[in-house]
Chains A and B, each alone.
Chain A
């Protein structure tokens, strides 16, 4: 039997999703051909906002790679547009002069962005925000130009504006009404949103009617009714979309706003179907992805001759703004009216606003601002028309949290993650089959919660429901990685109890699901073993990340950087000369002073590393390690007119004492000789500040991703006491923190009071910590660079590539 020929017009989210559903039902049924105007395989359009905001890249948002099409024997024509359909002879014609016959045809042509017909709208630099090209244009423009005007204060406009801000442009958002996102928000939420976005640096021109776009070839200015003029190098129009009905119209298929379809996604023409943004179902056209998943399922069944039951019944939509730092959710009928009553919570301190609109004891809509955790649950209650008369009205917002989760009653086919179309069944089977135990693992495995994140709560509920007692509510059990169900603490306890001494032994005895672990657990176990057995354990090179194995920092192009030690940031002419000579000899592409008070030689070839180290003849600065990094110092009493103490001397002493010590994460220290704090001791893992006759010790500071000021641990008189307190503190951290937990996060978790009670109130415990630190320090191996230089075997194994030439034989 020959296969039926299926042609899909539109290589976007709806069309391809439908093909996936069809292939699931019956992979052998069709010979499939796909046409797409864009020169790309199918990608996740909603993630363009994240690409623009710099959170991900174009490569990462591809949903179906070219290999996917090949593997499924799908003939794909990209960069080719279908212009007309001949319904009688059943074939499609493209702009490249190709014609292809079909037995069944699917139209999934999406939307056109709506471009305001303003004078000057055809100038260079006036674009929409719809596809990869638009995104790339904005990124390129931001490199050359400064001012952007976004027309439209809806979802898309605000996401574009946030992206342009991130790209370093100045952004005006023009909106025709008095309040933003009027289709999703009520005036209260809208005002809160505007205030928040203004804080982020967006400038709003509310109640402005754009009149014209001026400029020679390229846009230079935008003018408004009433005479106002603003400068613009780029104009992004985000005022709406209109269903793309071009082919349908040209081929006499019935259209209204969209291509008219029935409950089985069938158009007016035989064997021609439509879905996605171009389709109009019961006078509704949708501009969001959630309806696609349902439409795709129905159409796949219909086209494969499987009973599609009641077909597609329409969708209630929710939306979420994908702008970092702003949580906005909206669904259903959220505006007040005569028949509706609303429950409101507004917390002006925390910037939280929640509104739930109720009619006849059913929730019909909701707006959430500042805290959107209940979003998906509310949406579900709206969809299921849950009777809330039993739940005290005022408690709805709290009680949805506590009541039995709605996921339990959901059908396996119901969608949990609207952005990526992941159903309850998909998630549950992924949890079971792959032994997933955290929301992050579910995200990595199924994509659920990857895009807007609203469904995280439900994913958590599903984990809890599926794993039962193994999963603890709220405080989700954080296992070391997907290879085990044990937490960091449990692994360390087992190593101690059972006297385990080797990574493979740990994995074996503790029932790892993978024989040799992964890139997350191996380095962690290696660290724990070294911490528990400081004198006996032999560090495992093969369980170290590349940087720590090579003792240099890998760069994006596979070369390495080299940072020699410069104790306390102090150097001398001899060392500087050596660095200069090495830079000349090896043509080092970049010499840079680091933020850690020393010099970085960047761009060194792997093969050259051992000889660079030999020529430098300086110890490694460990700029790559989970270990002591730098001890920054200020000038101090010997030169500075304010200095009260010898900060340089103490800094050098600290660095020499603790260098090469393995720690759960990197440790940075600083010593300043007065509270002016020129060595930034306030944002160091351990920061020392000299005051008259004493040293203050600050802990838990961090200048990185989560900025945190250090807390004063104590004040001591002498530098010996400083060294001793640091030893005790770092040993406590080494023994109790999870691998890859910085001191700042660890301190937040266990609390300053706990640390104080051990170090300041329990003299015995403190002394034991110090003595365990001393044992550890006494067993630290020598400088790694030196070791490499001296070992031909290491040099050969780790640093040399083999280059061979092949001769004709």
Chain B
């Protein structure tokens, strides 16, 4: 394993590899990340671990700017990582850059 540097840009996928509204799990060293391509065209990356009971968020239903956890249906904003009411909590978010249809995550 290589040590990571903060703020590193990692190439993770070509845009075409990401189906719209279906999440993808990306593992970069020990970061488990759920990557989403939204209908709006934006690509978002959040920690692939629901704050409730670690549900794999990449497998959830994606609607608009939110993902619904596949285990107990918590609703999470994929931009801010905030869990929506009445539940509470937040997941880590990762900046995403898309350049020439190549998706990069900054960790």
Residues of A in contact with B (beta carbons under 8 Å apart): 59, 62, 65, 67, 444-447, 514-519, 522-523, 541-546, 549-550, 554, 556-558, 796-798, 801-809
User: Which residues on A sit within 8 Å (CB–CB) of B66?
Assistant: 518
Query: In the docked arrangement, what's the CA distance between A566 and B42, Å?
Result: 44
The DSSP consensus for interface residues of chain B is: loop
The reply to whether B39 and A516 contact each other, CB–CB distance below 8 Å, is yes
Q: Which residue of A lies closest to B34 (CB)?
A: A801
The reply to whether B10 and A804 contact each other, CB–CB distance below 8 Å, is yes
The reply to whether A801 and B24 contact each other, CB–CB distance below 8 Å, is yes
Contacts A517-B63, A519-B73, A546-B59 known; list 10 others, CB within 8 Å.
A59-B52, A522-B63, A545-B61, A797-B19, A797-B22, A804-B27, A804-B28, A805-B1, A806-B4, A808-B2
Q: Which residue of A lies closest to B5 (CB)?
A: A808
Query: In the docked arrangement, what's the CA distance between A543 and B22, Å?
Result: 9
The reply to whether B70 and A545 contact each other, CB–CB distance below 8 Å, is yes
Query: In the docked arrangement, what's the CA distance between A426 and B90, Å?
Result: 24
16 A-B pairs within 8 Å (CB atoms) are namely A65-B89, A518-B61, A518-B66, A523-B61, A542-B62, A556-B71, A557-B54, A797-B22, A801-B24, A802-B12, A802-B25, A804-B10, A805-B28, A806-B5, A806-B107, A807-B2
In the complex, whether B93 has a CB less than 8 A from a CB of chain A is: no
CB within 8 Å for A550 and B2 given contacts A447-B86, A797-B22, A806-B107: no
In whole Å, how far is B56's beta carbon from the nearest beta carbon of chain A?
Answer: 4
8 smallest beta-carbon distances between A and B, as pairs: A519-B68, A546-B70, A801-B25, A542-B21, A516-B63, A516-B64, A803-B27, A546-B59
User: Which residues on B sit within 8 Å (CB–CB) of A516?
Assistant: 21, 39, 62-64
Per-residue A-contact encoding for B8-35, CB less than 8 Å = 1, 0 else: 1010110001011110111111000000
Query: In the docked arrangement, what's the CA distance between A523 and B68, Å?
Result: 12
CB within 8 Å for A542 and B20 given contacts A65-B89, A556-B53: yes
The reply to whether A806 and B88 contact each other, CB–CB distance below 8 Å, is no
Most buried by A among B12, B19, B20, B53: B19
In the complex, whether B100 has a CB less than 8 A from a CB of chain A is: no
User: Which residues on B sit within 8 Å (CB–CB) of A796?
Assistant: 17
Q: Which residue of A lies closest to B87 (CB)?
A: A60
Query: In the docked arrangement, what's the CA distance between A796 and B25, Å?
Result: 11
The reply to whether B27 and A802 contact each other, CB–CB distance below 8 Å, is yes
The reply to whether B5 and A518 contact each other, CB–CB distance below 8 Å, is no
Q: Which residue of A lies closest to B86 (CB)?
A: A444
User: Which residues on A sit within 8 Å (CB–CB) of B107?
Assistant: 806
The reply to whether B63 and A806 contact each other, CB–CB distance below 8 Å, is no
The reply to whether B2 and A798 contact each other, CB–CB distance below 8 Å, is no
The reply to whether B2 and A805 contact each other, CB–CB distance below 8 Å, is yes
CB < 8 Å neighbour of B26 from A515, A541, A804: A804
Query: In the docked arrangement, what's the CA distance between A558 and B55, Å?
Result: 7
In whole Å, how far is A512's beta carbon from the nearest beta carbon of chain B?
Answer: 10
Per-residue A-contact encoding for B53-84, CB less than 8 Å = 1, 0 else: 11110111111101010110101000000000
Residues of B in contact with A (beta carbons under 8 Å apart): 1-5, 8, 10, 12-13, 17, 19-22, 24-29, 39, 52-56, 58-64, 66, 68, 70-71, 73, 75, 85-86, 88-90, 107
Query: In the docked arrangement, what's the CA distance between A62 and B86, Å?
Result: 11
The reply to whether A802 and B24 contact each other, CB–CB distance below 8 Å, is yes
User: Which residues on B sit within 8 Å (CB–CB) of A445?
Assistant: 85-86
Q: Which residue of B lies closest to A555 (CB)?
A: B71
User: Which residues on A sit within 8 Å (CB–CB) of B12?
Assistant: 802, 804
The reply to whether A558 and B54 contact each other, CB–CB distance below 8 Å, is yes
Most buried by A among B22, B61, B89, B107: B61
Q: Which residue of B lies closest to A802 (CB)?
A: B26
Most buried by A among B2, B53, B56, B107: B56
User: Which residues on B sit within 8 Å (CB–CB) of A798?
Assistant: 22
Query: In the docked arrangement, what's the CA distance between A545 and B63, Å?
Result: 12
CB within 8 Å for A806 and B8 given contacts A801-B24, A801-B26: yes
In whole Å, how far is B102's beta carbon from the nearest beta carbon of chain A?
Answer: 13
Query: In the docked arrangement, what's the CA distance between A65 and B83, Å?
Result: 12
Q: Which residue of A lies closest to B74 (CB)?
A: A519
In whole Å, how far is A660's beta carbon from the nearest beta carbon of chain B?
Answer: 22
CB within 8 Å for A541 and B10 given contacts A514-B64, A517-B63, A519-B68: no
The reply to whether A546 and B60 contact each other, CB–CB distance below 8 Å, is yes
Query: In the docked arrangement, what's the CA distance between A809 and B68, Å?
Result: 36
In whole Å, how far is B16's beta carbon from the nearest beta carbon of chain A?
Answer: 11
In whole Å, how far is B64's beta carbon from the nearest beta carbon of chain A?
Answer: 4
The reply to whether B68 and A518 contact each other, CB–CB distance below 8 Å, is yes
User: Which residues on B sit within 8 Å (CB–CB) of A545?
Assistant: 61, 70
The reply to whether A522 and B64 contact each other, CB–CB distance below 8 Å, is no
The reply to whether A806 and B29 contact each other, CB–CB distance below 8 Å, is yes
In whole Å, how far is B99's beta carbon from the nearest beta carbon of chain A?
Answer: 16
The reply to whether B24 and A541 contact each other, CB–CB distance below 8 Å, is no
Query: In the docked arrangement, what's the CA distance between A390 and B39, Å?
Result: 61
User: Which residues on A sit within 8 Å (CB–CB) of B8?
Assistant: 806, 809
